[in-house]
Amino acid sequence: MRDACGRTVSYLRLSVTDRCNCRCAYCMPEHGVPMLSHDDILSFEELREMVGAAASLGVRKLRITGGEPLARRGIVGLVRMLSGVEGIEELAMTTNACALAALAPALREAGLDRLNVSLDSLDEGRYARITRCGRLEDVLGGLASARAAGFTNTKVNAVLIGGVNECDIRPLAELARAGGDGPLGVSSVRFIELMPMGECAAWPRERFVSVDKVLEVMGELVPVGPDGVAALYAAPGWKGTVGLIRPMSHKFCSGCARLRITADGMLKPCLHSGEEIALRGLHGDELLDALRLGISHKPLEHHMSAILGRASESARAMNEIGG
């Protein structure tokens, strides 16, 4: 289905929990936030109904996110349920991978097609400081386990934080050298600009740097074209790619094909807008109408700017929306 700006909306990001086993400094307060109660979180049946309705309107790609999706009890069963929804052609998950090692084979068998793994540093100490409770060895073990379970084309997403992890650019990018069929199955390492929202909305300007920094550090990269929201680059002899995602320095809103549903059942037409449409309790035509309304309300673009000090207009933190 097309929105009012002519964009075809085919991609749904579904947050299945607001809970997380990490406390990344830019995403969550150190001691956590008040969590939704079990009754506030969408049940598996509700999730399936909403995905089915979205698929009937043209959604073809579904991404399960959170909070940390692997922290949702019964996640393997949920993946199995959602992978069977008619019309969904690709089922992906964004995860911090801290609990992936043990779950990867079952997730694969349940029908998960692809993984995006968030990893901001390959230095053990820095990784622990950024995530506050993550262990780098768990993430690397998760990547290896996913590869052994048959996942290929895994993408690593790294948020670039000025003054914190620029020195990780090259080591992280190197994960893509062997490509999707390599030992960790990483086909692309994508660097993402930090967005001023939630915990980091009021961080100093120097934390918000352009991912062009990656091109300064890795002079051998040459552009190979766009892939969705990422501009892709390759280095001579590498099988995988390096991606740059620039929500701040170059908006990509004009190509945005996404809808988001929060763990408590609110449809967000845009990550950064305050507008939400309650889906809970709606069925059949009412649910379809609410989804159509959300699609028609996708704004032309977001209004964030680190330079002008304008933060996201969304009242929610990233752990509630899922990125």
Minimum Å gap between C-beta 322 and ligand SF4 is 8
Q: What whole-number distance in Å separates Cα of residue 147 and Cα of residue 186?
A: 9
| Nearer to ligand SAM (CB atom), residue 14 or residue 295 | 14
Among 9, 12, 14, 28, the residue binding ligand SF4 under the rule CB under 6 A is 28
Q: Does 22 bind ligand SF4 (CB under 6 A)?
A: yes
Strand, helix or coil for residue 306: coil
Minimum Å gap between C-beta 8 and ligand SF4 is 28
| Nearer to ligand SF4 (CB atom), residue 49 or residue 120 | 120
Segment holding 258, helix H or strand E? strand 258-261
Strand, helix or coil for residue 117: strand
Query: Within positions 75 to 134, which residues make up the interface with ligand SF4, using CB under 6 A?
Result: 96, 118
Q: What whole-number distance in Å separates Cα of residue 277 and Cα of residue 259?
A: 11
Minimum Å gap between C-beta 230 and ligand SAM is 13
DSSP at 217? H
4-12, 64-72, 141-149, 162-170 -> range binding ligand SF4 (CB under 6 A):
64-72
Q: By the criterion CB under 6 A, which residues form the site for ligand SAM?
A: 20, 26-27, 65-66, 68, 94-96, 118, 157, 159, 192, 194-195, 197, 200, 318-319, 322-323
Q: Read off the tokens for 19.
A: 């809970």
| Nearer to ligand SF4 (CB atom), residue 19 or residue 298 | 19
Residue-wise over 253-263: b if at least 16 C-beta within 10 A, else e?
A: beebbbbbbbb
What residues are paired with 6 via a beta bridge?
none
| Nearer to ligand SAM (CB atom), residue 287 or residue 323 | 323
What residues are paired with 232 via a beta bridge?
225, 243
Listed residue (262, 289, 235, 229) closest to 54, CA to CA: 289
Give the residues lining the site for ligand SF4 (CB under 6 A). 20, 22-24, 27-28, 66-68, 96, 118, 318-319
